[in-house]
Amino acid sequence: MKEGSILTENVLTVENLSIDYESNRGPVHALDSVSIGIQPRSLTAIVGESGCGKTSLGLGVIGLLPMPPVKNITGKVWYKKVNLLDLDKEEIRRYRGTEIAMIFQEPITSLNPVYKVGQQIEEAIAIRDSRATHKNTDANDRRSEIIESLNRVRIPDAENVANRYPFELSGGMRQRIMIAMALAQKPSLLIADEPTTALDVTTQAQVLKLMRNLMNEVNTSILLITHDLAVASQVADKVAVMYGGQIVEEAEVNELFSAPSHPYTQGLLACIPTGSKAKARLKPIQGNVLDLKQTVNYCKFAPRCPHVMDKCWESKPDLRTVEGEHKAACYLNE
């Protein structure tokens, strides 16, 4: 990993991150030596199916994985020249919410049901201010900032909404409020774990469009975790595809869709229904999703790969450059 220039350019640099869980059926290797860099003011999408490790990556980076059942975390996570994994609980807590914010799939569980929305945003602002300047801002200033942050996420009638409780609002509104709270801290990185999966199609479009636009307004990068390749194609600058706890392909978004180099990515793209059954029948990926409990020394996709060769069973392919910024972990490209 080249230190120096890349580290200072990237907002976040993950270096060989591995995470093991303890389960009552043996250790689970949720992440297997994952490396990725996130550039400033860009949206990177981590795409994968259930069990691929994408949520472990998102939560692990910011230290939100509970230590049991997590057993081992190795590797480095560089954020502004600090290795987040070296920090203790107190120290990393200071980064969370201020430098690195997170939003999750179910806003109803992230918002406190007994406080009004405005109060919760105010709390976020107050924490930010006390951490940054070590003094409290004026209540009026905070009030106007609350309204401003609600306006920024395009919530109509902000004054009214600020006085409501979370249960009175729709899912889309709640997610926007989560975004507002996350961005109130002016983070450099926003990690969004399936933020629109629980929303309707039209609401999803609105929220994704909002996130994309806000990136430039607030000067933040977004790490978007999703299972939906189509969503990634619409909003991401860079896409990383995960399988079996590894990144199997990483490329700028146009590259990935026009020239997918890993058979799993190709398989995923072939699974997306486009058009009617009469035109083109879907070609599902054969076999079943990987069991993360096994430690293997061969390519994890080999059992399901339509182009598998002998070499694939002998050793695990690394994530190597295919062309420019396009990387894939597959012997077919060598």
Task: Give the largest CA-CA distance in the chain.
Answer: 69
Q: How far is the CB of 123 from other proteins (least distance, A)?
A: 26
275 touches other proteins (CB under 8 A): yes
175 within 8 A of 169, measured Cβ to Cβ: no
ω into 317 cis (within 30 of 0):
no
Helix or strand (DSSP H, E) at 183: helix 171-184
Alpha carbons 229 and 226: distance in angstroms, whole number? 8
Strand 82-83 relative to strand 12-23, pairing: unpaired
Binding mask 161-180 for other proteins (x = CB under 8 A): ---------x-xx-------
Q: Taking CB under 8 A as the criterion, which residues in 248-267 touch other proteins?
A: 253-254, 256-257, 267
274 touches other proteins (CB under 8 A): yes
276 touches other proteins (CB under 8 A): yes
291 touches other proteins (CB under 8 A): no
Q: How far is the CB of 26 from other proteins (least distance, A)?
A: 12
Q: How far is the CB of 8 from other proteins (least distance, A)?
A: 29
**Strand boundaries in the chain, DSSP class E:** 12-23, 26-38, 43-47, 70-79, 82-83, 100-103, 189-193, 221-226, 238-243, 246-252, 320-323, 326-328
Binding mask 179-218 for other proteins (x = CB under 8 A): ---------------------xxxxxxx-xx--x------
Nearer to other proteins, 89 or 277 (CB): 277
Nearer to other proteins, 42 or 203 (CB): 203
Treating both helix axes as pointing N-terminal to C-terminal, what angle do 171-184 and 201-218 enclose, rounded to 10 degrees?
Answer: 10
Q: What phi, psi does 275 have (nearest 5°)?
A: 90, 180
Q: Taking CB under 8 A as the criterion, which residues in 129-148 touch other proteins?
A: none
Alpha carbons 49 and 67: distance in angstroms, whole number? 24
Binding mask 64-93 for other proteins (x = CB under 8 A): ------------------------------
The residues binding other proteins (CB under 8 A) are 23-25, 49-50, 170, 172-173, 200-206, 208-209, 212, 227-231, 233-236, 253-254, 256-257, 267-277, 281-285, 288-289
